[in-house]
């Protein structure tokens, strides 16, 4: 990103680095293992909040509760309570009652109003939450939270399911000369695991920001980050991205009119982009991160459709796993995306290796291509020479392990 100089990455930072936030996690018995399965982020002041939710028709109960909290609490939240091991999805009226009860218990435990609390769940679909364990766990949460890295670590552990690595990022920038911190944590190693569901992401910041501006920024940023990753093309019933801004950095309230708005949006996008890329890299069974850049499309939206069609192709993903410079599968994906393409003007590169120019094969060094494709990050660049639209998408290769994990998942 050309705007990196507007902010700096804080490698040691966590979701509790922004002023005002504490976090924690514990095991309450929702997972069969002894790993954490209940977590919380709390803010010492009402934080400006914004969220985006799965577009799946079957939205899990916690999403409804969170939506209601944000709407009725004047777009402010003090806490979000999250469980893994059970998605509370396809659970009917009882599931909805359970999500409300979870919110109520967390509000009581932290001395907050119910509408100051959001709820998120991830895990098995179609089973009721064992509410005695949830209640027991929530009672212990106030004693488990801290503003240290340890609290953030315990929270990150609590939201993981099939994730192999923790996904966390933190950046700092100056707004009105004050230091502002933005941090994020996420889970999700497929776009969906309906029986151990979901992508969840939480972004905290101590910036002061106008609520509508935060919601708009979150939507725009999601479109070019989280919505541009795909592991298997599926989307879950529980996906949620929630952001909370404490305002304790002491800057003038951010909005698009603010002089430092561009710096803040660039930093916010970096956080979301890195979380999204780490989810793609940790895709089920993945051995390689694949980045697809499409340029020369008629619009950015058209470029995005084409990029996602390429990254979503099982044939392209299998070829990447096999380190096979199979440009035929890439151009076939371009051609079936349903977007305007000039069939005679397409260039394709794998890394810096040109394999197709003006839609005609270019001789390339197979050994060099093989060496490149055996790396851990593969860049596929497609220039359509048909306009100014561009987009980048991220995904991963399709491997034996993907099949193994998903063939045997539920049992």
Which residue ranges are tagged as binding site for substrate?
161, 187, 198, 284, 406, 411
For a copy of itself, the binding residue among 139, 235, 255, 299 (CB under 8 A) is: 235
Residue 374 binds to a copy of itself (criterion: CB under 8 A): no
For a copy of itself, the binding residue among 205, 237, 265, 390 (CB under 8 A) is: 237
Q: What part of residues 76-105 is at the interface with a copy of itself (CB under 8 A)?
A: 89-90, 92
Give the residue among 196, 57, 71 at the shortest CA–CA distance from 125.
196
DSSP letters, 104-149, are HHHHHHHT--GGGEEEEEEEESS----HHHHHHHHHHHHHH-BSSH
Token representation of residue 10: 């804080």
Size of the site for a copy of itself (CB under 8 A): 63
Q: Are the C-beta atoms of 13 and 183 separated by less than 8 Å?
A: yes
Task: Give the CA count within 13 Å in the CB-facing half-sphere of 327.
Answer: 24
Residue 130 binds to a copy of itself (criterion: CB under 8 A): no
Residue 233 binds to a copy of itself (criterion: CB under 8 A): yes
Q: Minimum distance from CB of 91 to a copy of itself (Å)?
A: 8
Query: Which residues touch 92 (CB under 8 Å, ≥6 apart)?
Result: none
Q: What part of residues 107-126 is at the interface with a copy of itself (CB under 8 A)?
A: 124-126
Query: Which residues touch 14 (CB under 8 Å, ≥6 apart)?
Result: 23, 149, 152, 153, 168, 170, 183, 185
Q: What part of residues 140-199 is at the interface with a copy of itself (CB under 8 A)?
A: 190, 192-195, 197
- Residue 52 CA to chain centroid, in angstroms? 11
Q: How far apart are CA 157 and CA 144, in angstroms?
A: 13
Q: How large is the C-alpha radius of gyration of the chain? A: 22
Q: Minimum distance from CB of 322 to a copy of itself (Å)?
A: 3
For a copy of itself, the binding residue among 40, 356, 380, 396 (CB under 8 A) is: 356
Residue 280 binds to a copy of itself (criterion: CB under 8 A): no
Catalytic residue among 66, 122, 181, 198: 198
Q: Tell me the window of 13-21, 74-82, 110-118, 401-409 that interacts with a copy of itself (CB under 8 A).
A: 401-409
Q: How far apart are CA 172 and CA 176, in angstroms?
A: 13
Residue 368 binds to a copy of itself (criterion: CB under 8 A): no
Q: How far apart are CA 316 and CA 322, in angstroms?
A: 10
Q: Minimum distance from CB of 9 to a copy of itself (Å)?
A: 33
Residue 411 binds to a copy of itself (criterion: CB under 8 A): yes
Q: Which is nearer to a copy of itself, 214 or 307 (CB)?
A: 307
Q: Which is nearer to a copy of itself, 4 or 128 (CB)?
A: 128
CA dihedral defined by 293, 256, 220, 214, rounded to 10 degrees? 140
Given the structure tokens 């469980």, which residue do they identify?
Answer: 83
Residue 265 designated active-site: no
Q: If you ran DSSP here, which 8-state letter would residue 228 be given?
A: G
Q: Tell me the window of 10-18, 166-174, 207-215, 353-361 that interacts with a copy of itself (CB under 8 A).
A: 353-361
Q: At 237, phi and psi to the nearest 5?
A: -80, -10
Q: Are the C-beta atoms of 100 and 64 separated by less than 8 Å?
A: no
Q: Which is nearer to a copy of itself, 130 or 233 (CB)?
A: 233
Give the residue among 240, 243, 199 at the shortest CA–CA distance from 99.
240
Residue 375 binds to a copy of itself (criterion: CB under 8 A): no
SS3 386: coil
Token representation of residue 201: 């992401």
Binding mask 307-336 for a copy of itself (x = CB under 8 A): -----xxxx--xx-xx-xxxxxx-xxxxxx
Specify which residues 185 forms β-bridges with. 168, 202
Beta-sheet strands, E only, within 133-280: 167-175, 178-187, 200-205, 240-245
Q: At 391, phi and psi to the nearest 5?
A: -165, 155
Binding mask 36-75 for a copy of itself (x = CB under 8 A): -------------------xxxxx----------------
Q: What part of residues 381-400 is at the interface with a copy of itself (CB under 8 A)?
A: 398-400
Q: Minimum distance from CB of 194 to a copy of itself (Å)?
A: 3
Binding residues: 161, 187, 198, 284, 406, 411
Residue 301 binds to a copy of itself (criterion: CB under 8 A): no
Catalytic (active-site) positions: 198
Residues that bind a copy of itself (CB under 8 A): 55-59, 89-90, 92, 124-127, 190, 192-195, 197, 232-237, 312-315, 318-319, 321-322, 324-329, 331-336, 341, 343, 356, 359-361, 398-400, 402-411
């Amino acid at each position: 990103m050309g705007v990196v100089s507007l902010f700096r990455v804080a490698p040691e930072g966590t979701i509790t680095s922004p002023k005002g936030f504490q976090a924690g996690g514990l095991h309450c018995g929702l997972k069969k293992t002894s790993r954490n399965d209940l977590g919380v982020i709390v803010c010492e002041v009402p934080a400006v909040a914004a969220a985006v939710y799965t577009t799946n028709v079957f939205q899990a109960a916690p999403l409804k509760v969170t939506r209601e909290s944000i709407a009725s609490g004047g777009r402010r939240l003090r806490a979000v309570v999250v469980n893994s091991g059970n998605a509370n999805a396809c659970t009917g009226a009882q599931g909805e009652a359970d999500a409300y009860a979870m919110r109520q218990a967390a509000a009581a435990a932290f001395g907050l109003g119910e509408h100051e609390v959001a709820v998120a769940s991830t895990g098995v679909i179609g089973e009721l939450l064992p509410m005695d364990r949830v209640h027991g766990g929530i009672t212990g949460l106030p004693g488990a939270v801290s503003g240290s890295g340890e609290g953030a670590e315990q929270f990150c552990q609590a939201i993981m399911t099939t994730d192999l690595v923790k996904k966390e990022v933190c950046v700092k920038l100056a707004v009105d000369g004050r230091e502002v911190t933005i941090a994020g944590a996420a889970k999700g190693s497929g776009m969906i695991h309906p029986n151990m569901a979901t992508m969840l992401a939480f972004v905290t910041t101590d910036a002061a920001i106008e609520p509508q501006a935060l919601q708009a920024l979150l939507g725009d940023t999601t479109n070019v980050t989280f919505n541009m990753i795909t592991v298997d093309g599926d989307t879950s019933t529980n996906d949620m991205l929630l952001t909370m801004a404490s305002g304790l950095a002491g800057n003038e309230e951010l909005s698009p009119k603010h002089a430092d708005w561009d710096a803040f949006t660039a930093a916010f996008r970096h956080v979301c982009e890195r979380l999204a890329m780490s989810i793609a890299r940790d895709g089920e069974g993945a051995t390689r991160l694949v980045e697809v850049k499409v340029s020369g499309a008629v619009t950015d939206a058209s470029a995005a459709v084409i990029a996602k069609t390429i990254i979503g192709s099982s044939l392209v993903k299998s070829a990447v796993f096999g380190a096979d410079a199979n440009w035929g599968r890439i151009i076939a994906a371009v051609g079936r995306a349903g977007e305007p393409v000039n069939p005679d003007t397409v260039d394709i590169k794998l890394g810096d290796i040109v394999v197709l120019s003006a839609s005609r094969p270019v001789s390339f060094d197979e050994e060099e291509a093989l060496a490149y494709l055996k790396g851990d990050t593969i860049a596929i660049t497609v220039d359509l020479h048909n306009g100014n639209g561009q987009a980048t998408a991220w995904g991963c290769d399709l491997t034996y392990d993907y099949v193994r994990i998903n063939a045997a998942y539920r049992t």
